[in-house]
Amino acid sequence: MSFYLIVNQAFTKIAKLKQVAIKNDLAIQQYDFTDIDKTLFLFTANSSETAHYLKLDNGDCICTVGTFMYKGYYGNQALQSAYQDISAQQFKHQECIGHYNIIIKIQQKIHLYTDLLGAWKIYQSAQGEISSSFYLLLELQDKLSLNIQGVYEYILNGCTLGEKTIAQEINSLPAEQTYIIDQHGNITRTDVSHSLLNQENNQQKNMEELLDDYSERLKNVFTQYQQLPNSQFRSALSGGFDSRLILASFLKTGTQPKLYVYGKETDADVVVAKNVAEVAGLNLDFIDKSKLPNQLEQQSFADIMERNLFIYDGLSYDGIVDNGNDYYDRLNRSANDKILVNGSVGEIFRHFYYLSNCNISIDDFIKSFHCRYDHQKMGDQFNEDEYRQGIKQEIQKTLKTEQTLLSREQVEKLYPLLRARYWSAKDMTNNHRFGLALYPFMEYQLIQGTSTISFNKKLYGRFEAQLINSLAPELAACNSDYGFAFNTEPPAKYKLKTQLLTYQRPVWLRKNMYAFKNKRQTANPPEYLTDKYLKDVINAQYPYMTQYFKQISTLDNETLNRLVTIEYIAEKYNFS
């Protein structure tokens, strides 16, 4: 775990930083840059590998948080090489691997970089503090208030989009830009030279050419991963595409990861994973979450919530309210310095947005994927037109367009640039709180060009299935959760079902599906989302959230969890 804080040297809340460090068992290193009136505080815990700091002979320095590799180097070698290239204005951002922030002091300026996807956020407060930790900025603010659009985006979608957060006084700096802070505190922004918005054209490539290209990219990325310390990788295995592609890539580059699967040994998904692991000649750990000890019987709920608030940096895509087991599960996955490998965002190789191959208006796109609400349960603060307009503006800003009609290629771009950048990225940074973590399908090298792969090649997962087959034919020959092996064409029955239930679903049905389902379901929250426990951490009257939602107790569990998360934060920090 690691995060940083950059402040002016007149900063007066050192005692607060020490309090945060002691409460969360953190170490703090302080680096003073007196010539530019700035101080860098670096917080570390658990695996020290998630932070590196290198001071140069000339007094300059470079620091990284997250997982950072450059030109095949890791650690101080990567920092030295990056510093030299940035100093010479020859930095090759596209040759970085991992997800990270870079902080570099060169003479009288501080340079800030994040990964090209913009997954590792840089936050800035209204008071001027800059940090990679949303939680830390919450702790430091004198005044906080809720951002209405941010609240609705988080509760309804699991993330906030663009620069906003749930707090009006804390923003994230825009993605795909680098930042220079001078001695006067001025921040200069520069667009990155390798934007993922500019994708190479793969429309005319045939399947063989694409397989050769992306197989080599996967081998290159996974070969570079072997430069990480220990190189003991731990990866989930399921019956789907993405975890099998990760395993195939590891085996192709001569690495045998430690595998685990969630569920009971008789579950269909587990049966498929077990077969794949046997074919690969690897052991498979079974994790049945229903058998994990109930932490609610061993710890106070207030303590669990306090820890979750810190460990998930304020927010998690599904909320921070649980029985404490998720913390220990994540801790065990990274035990003994194992490097977690996650298959999130594998849909870059197939379709995430199940829409037919034609243009769609931004309004219809929002109705299809961002309207998970029941009008009858929306509070006085909700203005549907303003909510949709806010998301529309983020989509247009992301795609750098004023057009209101999206091409299929633009829809494909929104998956990594909107969904992955803001939703998946949160889980990535949270997993780094436990040690090094790798998200191969969020790497620039693998995302680049995928949005222009033709629709039919991605359809039904064809391209990803053949990619697995090209890397590890023996794994592709195994059955899957979809009812077919990945070395065969999907059966007609599967294609028909997929078309009828997903691609051909009309917009009006997509928009209203959540409300239809929610009306038919009876609220059955887990025990930690009941008054028995919530009364210990929040006001049962929901003084903040009753402005945003009605009939709170009838919300689905995910929505309720995120709502309680914001209520808890707002009460804890006395939001106005």
* pLDDT above 90 (res 295): no
Q: Are 392 and 362 in contact (CB under 8 A)?
A: yes
Count the Cβ atoms, other than its own, within 10 Å of residue 31. 17
* pLDDT above 70 (res 47): no
The DSSP line for 71-139 is: TTEETHHHHHHHHHHHHTT---GGGEES-EEEEEEETTEEEEEE-TT--S--EEETTS-EES-HHHHHH
Higher pLDDT, residue 292 or 405: 405
Count the Cβ atoms, other than its own, within 10 Å of residue 225. 25
Residue 558's nearest CA partner among 263, 134, 154 is 154
Residue 223 binned pLDDT confidence (cut-offs 50, 70, 90) = very high
Residue 470 has what pLDDT?
98
Residue 185 binned pLDDT confidence (cut-offs 50, 70, 90) = confident
- Four-CA torsion 361, 162, 568, 521, nearest 10 degrees: 20
Helix axes 241-252, 207-225, angle to 10 degrees: 70
pLDDT in tens, 92-114: 999 999 999 999 999 999 999 99
* pLDDT above 80 (res 27): yes
Average pLDDT over the chain reads 95
Q: Are 241 and 463 in contact (CB under 8 A)?
A: no
Across 481-508, average pLDDT: 95
Whole-model pTM above 0.75?
yes
Residue 237's nearest CA partner among 204, 205, 192, 271 is 271
Residue 336 has what pLDDT?
85
SS3 of 501-548: the string is: HHHCCCHHHHHHHHHHHHHHCCCCCCHHHCHHHHCCCCCCCCCCHHHC
Across 123-139, average pLDDT: 97
Residue 272 binned pLDDT confidence (cut-offs 50, 70, 90) = very high
DSSP annotation of 158 reads S
Across 233-237, average pLDDT: 96
pLDDT in tens, 510-545: 998 888 877 766 678 999 999 999 999 999 999 999
Q: H-helix or E-strand containing 262?
A: strand 258-262
Residues recorded for the chain: 576
Task: Provide the percentage of residues in the chain whose pLDDT is more than 70.
Answer: 99
Residue 46 binned pLDDT confidence (cut-offs 50, 70, 90) = low
Q: Which amino acid is at 33?
A: F
Q: Break the chain down into helix, strand, coil percent, rounded to 5.
A: 45, 15, 40
pLDDT in tens, 307-359: 999 999 999 999 999 999 999 999 989 888 899 999 999 999 999 999 999 99
Residue 523 has what pLDDT?
73
Residue 297 binned pLDDT confidence (cut-offs 50, 70, 90) = confident
